[in-house]
Structure 1
């Protein structure tokens, strides 16, 4: 992408922005924790990406998927403050804290992203209680969902990978929910950009625009997708409930696929503020072991409709 956006590029950008704006006000509910959840209607979509898509990989084989039941999905990623309430009530200690493993964070003295013992969900070198909570394992996210289910007397869980991509796409078939072009993400996605590289000089893969956030952004800082969901592209990686298999598409049911029954890794989706454009595509798939404190990974929750 050129350093100066051309008039044509700007026209494409503004066209993409208008098409990505919500067509109707989403139905949003708020739970006792203050979390906002958007009602996602049942529907059908094409999961995965075409081979012609820039960034496409062999694990993104396209297939038809039906989401047969509506569900509520967190409008935002779970925040540090919300996770703090869980820890305060239960005394929960995360995988990092129990195993005394180092976490990811920004060391201002070194001017670099580092993996150090001082970095946990409580300390990443940046951010506030309104930022997405990160440095969490899949097990930590599951523990939060279990606590929230008991607290709310409702079933909360991580989204399936199919639910996540369906909600991320918000009715689109393009590379991003905002359109095909990288410029269409301007104003919608917090990813590796000039602001990040200004703080972390080694991030030579960064895009040339400035989204206004060097690191993660407070949730809801940017624009939502057409279904009223924020930060589906970038900000923080998000754990899904599914085990990962590169060839799951071969056995995946059309209706409500929930991933393999077993595996070694769980799905993470959406990319983070540290990532280049390829990793924030709607179809991009990544995974890691459930106990690993993955690079700036958090989560958002599903509330099951009874």
Structure 2
């Protein structure tokens, strides 16, 4: 599967290394020690047109780095302003129709999708994520990428074998993730016109929220089960039959959906119930598809040399701490 970033490549030919007054917003990275785990689950619902989480299979993952937080509006904005990259166009949104969604015109920077620079960026496609990562790699001298699906699940499970990393109870999710709960139900019901059963807890957020507001998992990662789902490198396969056992991305023999090339996204979002918030649940999206129904991305990096886990991320962390403090103040009112 080829990456369609030729336009960005042309833009980057004339793009100098970062020299702006504002520092480059590098991600804060956690080093994930490699190991063996059982990937998949037999407990998730099955749909002939949707990727299943079976068969459960053993995967050996090499050590790697993964960003502690989902990529934010401010980080993506820095890329767009530096390059002139166009990430505009239609973006799926929640709607009061039979499907619960429709294509809208509000993009990644519209206030409805980007309430603040430290919210996770949405309305960005797999292609857009690759373009951003190519630019960030050039500017930093590092090799950032999307995680493979196996790397993502390994990190989301964080060594656990229970339904969720914290245990089996959905009601405990609100301590760890922004999901479809008591806080989110009123806003989402207004948007969709549907009355669904919410998770019986309160995470303090209606739709997306500032990244890192909930407890990190055992690997130091925030928001793996909520806020927004996350695009990974792998293209769609409807089962794990034949999947790589070494943790690498599965990018061959892809399964299209109604003629469109599809990739996998993982993790729950602000609209997810108990099933969607599971670390084993799989979703799909088109390579050029943009959605505000909880789709973003997280950054991975190979372990190389002695680079620190948070090397160069000080500017991002300082701004995030202020945004988190403001959000905590809002919730306390």
Which TM-score bucket, shorter chain as reference?
Answer: 0.7 to 0.9
Contact persistence 2:243–2:250 (CA under 8 A)? yes
Gaps of 5+ in 2: 1-22, 47-51, 255-260, 305-333
Whole-angstrom CA distance in 2 between matches of 1:227 and 1:43: 13
Whole-angstrom CA distance in 1 between matches of 2:266 and 2:283: 6
Question: What's the counterpart of residue 253 of structure 1?
Answer: 244
After TM superposition, list the pairs within 5 Å mapping 1:1-306 onto structure 2. 32-49=24-41, 51=42, 53=43, 55-57=44-46, 58-68=52-62, 70-94=63-87, 97=88, 100-104=89-93, 115-117=103-105, 119-123=106-110, 125=112, 127-201=115-189, 202-247=194-239, 249-263=240-254, 264-294=261-291, 295-306=293-304
Give the 3 Å change call, closer, same or farther, for CA 142–262 of structure 1 in structure 2: farther
The count of residues paired between Structure 1 and Structure 2 equals 262
Give the 3 Å change call, closer, same or farther, for CA 218–114 of structure 1 in structure 2: farther
Contact persistence 1:37–1:73 (CA under 8 A)? yes
Give the 3 Å change call, closer, same or farther, for CA 203–210 of structure 1 in structure 2: farther
Whole-angstrom CA distance in 2 between matches of 1:304 and 1:289: 25
Residue 44 of structure 1 aligns to a residue in which SS?
A: strand
Contact persistence 1:192–1:275 (CA under 8 A)? yes
Moved more, 138-147 or 191-200: 191-200
Residue 156 of structure 2 aligns to a residue in which SS?
A: helix
**Offset, 1:150:** 0.5
Contact persistence 2:39–2:150 (CA under 8 A)? yes
**Offset, 1:124:** 5.0
Gaps of 5+ in 1: 1-30
TM-score, with normalisation over the residues of structure 1?
0.80
**Offset, 1:105:** 6.6
**Offset, 1:186:** 2.7
Give the 3 Å change call, closer, same or farther, for CA 182–102 of structure 1 in structure 2: closer
Contact persistence 1:104–1:135 (CA under 8 A)? no
**Offset, 1:195:** 1.2
Q: Over aligned residues, Cα RMSD in angstroms?
A: 2.1
Contact persistence 2:38–2:57 (CA under 8 A)? yes
Runs of 4+ with deviation above 6 angstroms: none
**Offset, 1:245:** 0.5
Whole-angstrom CA distance in 1 between matches of 2:25 and 2:80: 13
CA-to-aligned-CA distance 1:87-136 (integer Å, 9 cap, x gap)? 11111111xx2xx32443799xxxx976421x110015152101000011
Give the 3 Å change call, closer, same or farther, for CA 102–241 of structure 1 in structure 2: closer
Give the 3 Å change call, closer, same or farther, for CA 102–228 of structure 1 in structure 2: closer
CA-to-aligned-CA distance 1:254-301 (integer Å, 9 cap, x gap)? 222321414221000002101212111011011111111133211000
